[in-house]
Each structure stands twice: as C-alpha cells, then as structure tokens.
Amino acid sequence: MFFKLSAKIQQTIDQSKYMNKHSKVIIIGAGIAGLHAARKLHQQGISVRVLEATDRIGGRIRAFSGLSERPIELGAEEIHGTNSIWFELLEQSNISLINGDNLDNYVYTQNQLIREDLVNDKTLKILDYLPQLIELYEGKDISLQQFLEQRQLSPLAMSLANAYHANESGSSLDRIGIKSLQKVDQKWSSGEDNLVLESDSYAHVLQQRFKTILPYVQLQEAAIIVDYTNQKISVTSNNDQTYTCEKVILTVPITVLQRKLITFTPNLPEEKEEAIQALKMDAGMKIILKFKEQFWPKNMGSLLGGELVPEYWSLQATHPQDHILVAFAMGSYAERLSALGEQAVTAVLEELDNILGDNLASTNFKESYIADWFKEPYIWGAYSYPSPYSERYRSWLEWPIDNRLFFAGEAVNLDGHYGTVHGAMETAQIAVDKILTEEN
Ligand SMILES: Cc1cc2nc3c(=O)[nH]c(=O)nc-3n(C[C@H](O)[C@H](O)[C@H](O)COP(=O)(O)OP(=O)(O)OC[C@H]3O[C@@H](n4cnc5c(N)ncnc54)[C@H](O)[C@@H]3O)c2cc1C
C-alpha cells in the first residue's frame, strides 16, 4: 500500500540495469539528499549512478494511500520556513502551500481538555520565553530536562516543553542538550512559518521534480562495501555487483553507519568514526488513526499533554473529508510505543478515551496505520537531534575524505537545519559544489 512508482517511471529505472558500471560519481541513498545531488551533477554533465537499498525513492519522505483518497505523509510533512532550497523548489513547481499553524492547540490538564490560551497555569509563561532562556544559557551542556527542573515547572508545562522543544527536535527532554539546542537555534535561518502542501504529496513532488534522474537510480541495490584504496573507487552491493567511480557521496542515515552496514576499505579515519558514534538519532513514530466522526473540538490543530503521546494533531486542514488524528512521538516516547507493536494502537485509543471521555475514540475508531521509523530497514530511526555536546561532531562527519568520499544527508547539516528536508538538500548542494569546483 506504500507509494509505488508509476509503471512508466519503473520501466525507465529497470533499463538502468544495463548502464555502464562506471560513472564519475556514485551516490549512495535515494532520499532527498541523494536525489538532489544526482540531479545537480547530472545537469552539469557529470555521469552519476544512485544506489538505493529499498524498492522506492524518497527515504524518510514517504506517503501512504490506504486511509484516505489523498496520501498521508508518514515522514516529512511540514515545510519549515520559506527561506530554503526546498521551499524554492516547491514555489518553482507552482505547488500550493497552506499554513499548518492556523488551528487552535488544546491541552489535557486536570482531567479536562482546554484551549491552550485559556489554561490558568503561571509556569506556562516560562515557555513563552524559553527560547530566550536557552539563548542566554551559559554552562555545561546538560539535558533540557535538567535545565527545566531547576525552574520548577508544573507537570503540564514540562509536558508542553517536551512536545514543542524536544519531540519536534527528534527526541525527548532528557536527551536534548541545552547548549547543542542553543547552537542549532542560533544558526537557524529558514524562517518560522510551518507550511504544508495543500493537495499534493511530497512523494509525488519527488517523482515530478526528479524525473530526469530516475533512470540513473538503481533500486534494491544496497551498498555494502566501499573500497577507496585506489584512485578508482569500487562500491559493491548486496547483489554482488561492483560499480566503479571517482567520487562517492554517502547520504545514508547516520544509523546505517553506526550499525556498520557499509564496510569501508581502508577503515574510516578515527575522527570520522567518533563523530558517527557520537551523533544521536532516536526512534520516531507516527500512528495514523481514522475515525467515523470528528469527536474532538471543531477547530483543534494539536492536542498536547498526554502521557503516552507528546502530540496528536488533526488532518482537518489537509484531509477535511476524513476524520484523522496523527499521534506523533519521538525519543523515549517512541521507544515505548514501538515496543508495544500493534498494541500501540489500543494504548493510544485508551489515552484518547481518557482525554476526550465517553469512550469516544474507541467507539468511533475505524482504521489505523503505524509508521515505526525505528523498525524501518535502512533508516532505523527518525532524525539526528542536538544531544549534549553533539554539534561539533556534525562538522567532523561532513568533512570529505581526500575530496573523493563525501558525506551528506540531514545529520551532516552544519547550519542548524538538521532533521529537515531542506537541511538534507543543503548538504547535498555543498558536496556537489565541492565536486564541481574541482572539475572546473
Ligand atoms: C516521522 C518524521 C517526520 C518528519 N517531519 C519532517 C517535517 O515535517 N519537515 C521536514 O523538513 N523534515 C521532516 N522530517 C525529516 C526529513 O524527512 C529528513 O530530514 C530527510 O528526509 C532526510 O533526507 P536524507 O536524504 O538525509 O535521508 P533519507 O531520506 O533517510 O535517505 C537515505 C536513503 O539511503 C538509503 N540507504 C540506506 N542504506 C543504504 C545502503 N547501504 N545502500 C543504498 N541505500 C541505502 C535509504 O533507504 C534512504 O532511501 C521527518 C522525518 C520523520 C522520520
């Protein structure tokens, strides 16, 4: 039921099996970073081949068509900011975007569901100026949780801090480093708007915008060995195929390198290995829940304050015909849900019954879909995040080896745009620029 390439595109991809096994650049991974790098190099007349381990392009961009006529995003969904390479690409394609932040947020507190702006809790005020407090922080890189515990916030304020500042950043309060968060926040330059596609899906945009590069993408071809001993680099796949090239751009998630699913000959330098192991990428879940009727407040965007799921949001703006809530959990919350397997749906319905009363969730429940990124082969998690002392390691990871082995993908972003689509594209652009500079 996942996004499948159209028959025409699939046919062109199959033909690529007969392509020459040597290309100037091999790109490992056909997520947004890999596709962007391939397209840019191809436009400059550089021969490329993209090896993708799975049977589809997109990586952490994935749409699901089973619950609604319009596909639902299981991975990337929002366009964070309008000052970005991804926003530009969508604008050039005349794709309509809408603001995802126009609806009201509701919170569950003291056995009641209340609009967030009506809650009477003085400690919530601290959250309004938390970004400034983080900005001014001078001290060790302690966890955001330790930092907030010194301020004696109410349980509700802690829960909202987790939803807004940790869950969104890819983990939970106890794992986000305040200094690291400060560093990435200071660098953020993409703008504050959060937009969503009005009627299209990310996966469809990829098919359209990267059409020219699809014939050079080899699906179901996982790189397992990269041998860069000689001038000519060889990349061997799990299908026992060996490809040669002059340069490699690696765009695989950091977890793939952490699990040593690719062997490098010679071994990667020590600093590179240290950076790979030091950066963190946690579990991440989206559970899509479809109901017979809308039983939550009419204009509800997000629901916060639950103990199991840090944030639920409704798809009212993008899927108005369906009654869909998305449970979004990262870090330790996602780990707990992931361990429950399919029982996670029952647990989430119980939490919603508890919050909204009268067994409304379980009696209205129709169908669900679990996107558990922690269990997704070749991804194994959600996205990298600012953990204590993490940020210097991104540059260690980014640094190319001999100008022949380049590292790209969201975890490599040095401009505070980690964990985003445009951040991944920016890293690909940097690798491409370096390759092109040498060419000219
Ligand atoms: C639940 C969730 C919600 C998100 N929400 C947003 C959002 O709202 N907005 C936003 O901007 N971003 C969001 N993101 C983050 C965004 O999706 C990622 O930052 C971005 O897509 C990463 O792109 P990438 O190219 O770096 O990596 P990936 O998309 O992971 O691509 C890497 C590719 O490498 C392939 N691969 C792995 N190992 C091998 C191998 N050995 N050989 C060949 N191929 C291999 C993988 O299969 C994959 O296709 C979200 C992510 C998740 C998981």
pLDDT tens-digit map of 370-384: 999 999 999 999 999
- Encode burial over 332-347: b for 16+ CB neighbours within 10 A, e otherwise: bbbbbbbeeeeebbeb
Judged against a pLDDT cut of 70, whether residue 88 lies above it is answered with: yes
Judged against a pLDDT cut of 60, whether residue 114 lies above it is answered with: yes
Q: Are 257 and 307 in the same domain?
A: no
203 touches ligand 1 (CB under 6 Å): no
Q: Is the peptide bond before 386 cis (omega within 30 degrees of 0)?
A: no
pLDDT at 102: 81
Burial of 224 (0-12, 13-18, 19+ CB in 10 A): middle
Judged against a pLDDT cut of 90, whether residue 100 lies above it is answered with: no
pLDDT at 440: 77
Cβ within 8 Å of residue 266, ≥6 positions away: 228, 229
Q: Are 135 and 187 in the same domain?
A: yes
- What is the tens place of the pLDDT at every residue in 138-165? 999 999 999 999 998 999 999 999 999 9
Cβ within 8 Å of residue 284, ≥6 positions away: 170, 329, 330, 334, 373, 374, 381, 382, 383
Q: Which amino acid is at 201?
A: S
Q: Which amino acid is at 75?
A: G
29 touches ligand 1 (CB under 6 Å): yes
Rounded to the nearest angstrom, the distance between the alpha carbon of 54 and the centre of ligand 1 is 12
pLDDT at 422: 98
The whole domain housing 35 covers 7-60+201-279+384-439
Q: What is the mean pLDDT of the chain?
A: 94
Q: What is the mean pLDDT of residues 64-87?
A: 95
CATH number for 162: 3.90.660.10
Judged against a pLDDT cut of 60, whether residue 15 lies above it is answered with: no
pTM for the whole structure? 0.95
In a domain, 69, yes or no: no
Judged against a pLDDT cut of 90, whether residue 200 lies above it is answered with: no
> Across 17-149, where does the E strand assignment appear?
25-28, 48-51, 63-64, 72-73, 79-80, 97-99, 104-109, 112-115
241 touches ligand 1 (CB under 6 Å): no
Count the domains in the chain: 2
Q: What is the mean pLDDT of residues 222-231?
A: 98
Distance (Å, whole) CA 202 – CA 355: 32
DSSP tally for the chain: helices H, then strands E? 16, 23
Q: Are 388 and 374 in the same domain?
A: no
Residue whose entry in the numeric block shows the structure tokens 């040669």: 244
What 3-state class would DSSP assign to 12?
helix
Which residue among 381, 410, 428 closes a domain?
381
Rounded to the nearest angstrom, the distance between the alpha carbon of 352 and the centre of ligand 1 is 29
Judged against a pLDDT cut of 70, whether residue 119 lies above it is answered with: yes
What 3-state class would DSSP assign to 424?
helix
Which residue among 358, 381, 404 closes a domain?
381
What is the token pair recorded at 321? 């015909």
Q: What is the mean pLDDT of residues 309-331?
A: 96
Q: Are 377 and 292 in the same domain?
A: yes
Percentage of the chain exceeding pLDDT 90: 90
In a domain, 80, yes or no: no
Across 13-27, 246-260, 305-319, 324-338, least confident range: 13-27
pLDDT at 439: 80
Judged against a pLDDT cut of 60, whether residue 12 lies above it is answered with: no
State the pLDDT confidence band at 19, using cuts at 50, 70 and 90.
Answer: low
61 touches ligand 1 (CB under 6 Å): yes
pLDDT at 6: 39
Q: Are 373 and 299 in the same domain?
A: yes
pLDDT at 3: 32
pLDDT at 162: 97
Q: Are 274 and 287 in the same domain?
A: no
Q: Are 399 and 273 in the same domain?
A: yes
pLDDT at 20: 67
Q: What is the mean pLDDT of residues 78-84?
A: 96
Distance (Å, whole) CA 403 – CA 360: 59
Mutate to test the pocket of ligand 1, among 252, 333, 407, 425 (most ligand atoms within 8 A of CB): 252
Residue whose entry in the numeric block shows the structure tokens 């939970």: 172
H or E element that contains 276? helix 270-278
Judged against a pLDDT cut of 70, whether residue 13 lies above it is answered with: no
Task: State how far the alpha carbon of 300 is from the alpha carbons of 93, 106, 303, in Å.
Answer: 30, 7, 7
> Across 179-310, where does the E strand assignment appear?
194-197, 217-218, 223-227, 233-237, 242-245, 247-250, 263-265, 280-281, 284-291, 300-304
Rounded to the nearest angstrom, the distance between the alpha carbon of 72 and the centre of ligand 1 is 16
Q: Are 215 and 228 in the same domain?
A: yes
Q: What is the mean pLDDT of residues 186-197?
A: 95
In a domain, 330, yes or no: yes
pLDDT at 384: 98
365 touches ligand 1 (CB under 6 Å): no
Q: Are 407 and 265 in the same domain?
A: yes
